[in-house]
Amino acid sequence: MASPAVSSTPVTSLPPGPKISPIGSLTYRFSRDPLKFLRTVARTYGDLASCRMSGEVLFFVNHPQHIRDILVTNHRNFTKSRGLERTKLLLGNGLLTSEGAFHLRQRRLMQPAFHRERIAAYARTMVQHADELRRQWRDGATLDVSQEMTRVTLSIAGKTLFGVDVESQAREVGRALTEVMESFWLSMMPFASVIERLPVGPMRRARDARERLDAIIYGMIAERRANHPGNNVRGDLLSMLLVAQDEDDGSTMTDRQVRDEAMTIFLAGHETTANALTWTWYLVSQSPDVEARLHEEVDRVLQGRLPGVADIPSLAFVEGVVTESMRLYPPAWIIGRRAIAAHPIGEYLAPARTIFLMSPWAMHRDARFFSEPDRFLPARWTPEFKAALPKFAYFPFGGGPRQCIGESFAWMELVLVVATIAQQWKLRLVPDHAVVPQPVVTLRTKHGLRMTIHARNTK
Ligand code: HEM
């Protein structure tokens, strides 16, 4: 496999990259079809490419070794917050958007909620909600599978993390989220927090949607403070956040801080997983061989009962299916960092403040690491293949100290939900339904995913 050239004497020149001509066309191409753009840049310029855009120096990083260098080895020279101005409008100063000592403190406070034993305790709830969903389905019905997957991950997030039933609010939350996400590109502009206050249609809708989401979360906090003051008997995340104390000064979190963390987990914890599930059903429906093998494994391992945490090691093909699905359609399709000081990379020296863009979307479709990169081949994920694959050739959950805190949660949820649904249902794409990836905050299906559902005859 190719390795990047590493020179001992970096020079301050930038690697070649896409040119801006005429003015603004790069910005246009990037914002119009970022997925195509990222892959073209990777194919044309290789491991490192650079360009200037809107007064910024951008580096496109397309090699696992460089990605590791930024996310892990030299992570101290990078920050995320500047590029996250827009996300902060929604998530406040939660784990995803906070930085430095504050981030470290919050991460330490929250880590226990994501420990292995606690995650295992969530398995039953995950399966229960997937089972409820599949019971509501009717043979021959046509559904928007992306909406269905959002419903199930939303109710799982609500129950496991906050101990509440959000199913009744799912429609409301879903609408609010869609509006917030749709205005995402608009709020990418500088001074987004000022612009957001302007009474312009999409901005006002985004703000209103955020206020509705806030109301839901503050409602949950108020319920906890009233009914369980000063204890975390329920042991779920929201209770933990409410009573968590700083080791040094004994301080606790304000409602606002709890809201920020709760909103972060709530959104990060279901939107991404819903996307991964949606893409999985699409891909499986396009590949009869994969579908047959998936059903065979689920039937053989479960023998008609609901899956549990103990079944997960035996559901290796199900895991291969979701692994391969997140390779082709990684929900977090781009990860960005800004260099604090000048950063040597390969044979170049990136100036301070350079923005580094690392795209799982582009990296995961690199033929140097994945043969037939555009084909959905879950069987490729053998133990030998995984062992030989360089770390960060596949990185749907990022890496280093900012790696997804919910990774184990997500894997468990994906495997259990796919197994539960595949046990009873086959999903078929509605003919002529256009499946178009839409890279907003996460990688969605632009027009949803219209599928017809068919009961499997397993008896
Ligand atoms: C398929 C599902 C998921 C994917 C693909 C995913 C992906 C990611 C990625 C790539 C990052 C790092 C971003 C960066 O470095 O800039 C991240 C961070 C994070 N994720 Fe996830 N995630 C998923 C599910 C979850 C779940 C289920 C939860 C919570 C229950 C969660 C909570 C978080 C949080 C709080 C962070 C910020 C961590 C920090 O900065 O310390 N995610 N996720």
Q: pLDDT by residue (tens digit) across 50-87?
A: 988 878 899 999 999 999 999 999 999 999 855 556 56
Q: Is 443 helix (H, G, I), strand (E, B) or coil?
A: strand
pLDDT value of position 294? 98
As a whole number of angstroms, the distance between CA 121 and CA 317 comes to 23
26 neighbors 18 (Cβ within 8 angstroms):
yes
Distance CA 81, CA 327 (A): 26
In the three-class reduction of DSSP (H, G, I as helix; E, B as strand; rest coil), residue 207 is classed as helix
Residue 277 Cβ inside 6 Å of ligand 1? The answer reads no
CA dihedral (421, 424, 425, 426) in degrees, to 10, reads 110
Ligand 1, atom 27, lies closest to the CA of 269
- Reference 338, options 353, 359, 358, 360; nearest CA is 353
One-character DSSP codes across 350-393: EPTTPEEEE-HHHHTT-TTTSSSTTS--GGG--HHHHHHSPTTS
Q: Sheet holding 48-53: strands in order across? A: 48-53, 56-61, 355-358, 335-339, 78-79
Give a three-class secondary structure readout of 18-76. Answer: CCCCCCCHHHHHHHHCHHHHHHHHHHHHCCEEEEEECCEEEEEECCHHHHHHHHHHCHH
The secondary structure of residue 142, as a DSSP letter, is E
CB 263 within 8 A of CB 221: no
Q: Please state, in angstroms and rounded to a whole number, the distance separating the CA atoms of residues 350 and 313.
A: 44
- To which H or E segment does residue 427 belong? strand 425-429
Place of tokens 């696992």: 64
Nearest to 93 by CA among 261, 211, 246: 261
Q: What is the DSSP pairing of strand 78-79 with strand 425-429?
A: unpaired
Q: What is the CA radius of gyration of the chain?
A: 22
- pLDDT tens for 109-154 read 888 778 777 788 889 999 999 999 999 999 999 999 999 999 899 8
Those residues of the chain that have pLDDT short of 70 are 1-12, 20-31, 81-87, 89-90, 164-203, 228-235, 458-459
DSSP bridge partners of 345: 348
Q: What gap in Å lies between CA 176 and CA 235, rounded to an integer?
A: 28
The residue type found at 450 is: R
Cα–Cα dist 422/453, whole Å: 11
Q: Give residue 441's pLDDT.
A: 76
Ligand 1 binding pocket includes 263 (Cβ within 6 Å): no
pLDDT of residue 185: 47
Atom in ligand 1 nearest the alpha carbon of residue 335: 16
**Distance, CA 80 to ligand 1 centroid (Å)?**
14
Residues 356 and 338 sit within 8 Å (Cβ to Cβ) = yes
Pairing between strand 48-53 and 56-61? antiparallel
Q: Whose CA is nearest to atom 11 of ligand 1?
A: 404
Gap from CA of 145 to ligand 1 centroid (Å): 22
Query: Ligand 1 pocket, 273 CB below 6 A?
Result: yes
State residue 179's pLDDT score: 65
Instruction: Tell me if 335 sits within 8 A of 68, measured CB to CB.
Output: no
* For ligand 1, mutation pick of 404, 414, 441 (most atoms within 8 Å of CB): 404
Residue type, 266: F
Query: What pLDDT is stored for residue 180 in this prediction?
Result: 60
Please report the pLDDT score of residue 249 as a whole number. Answer: 79
* Ligand 1 atom with least separation from CA of 275: 1
Residues facing 337 on adjacent strands: 356
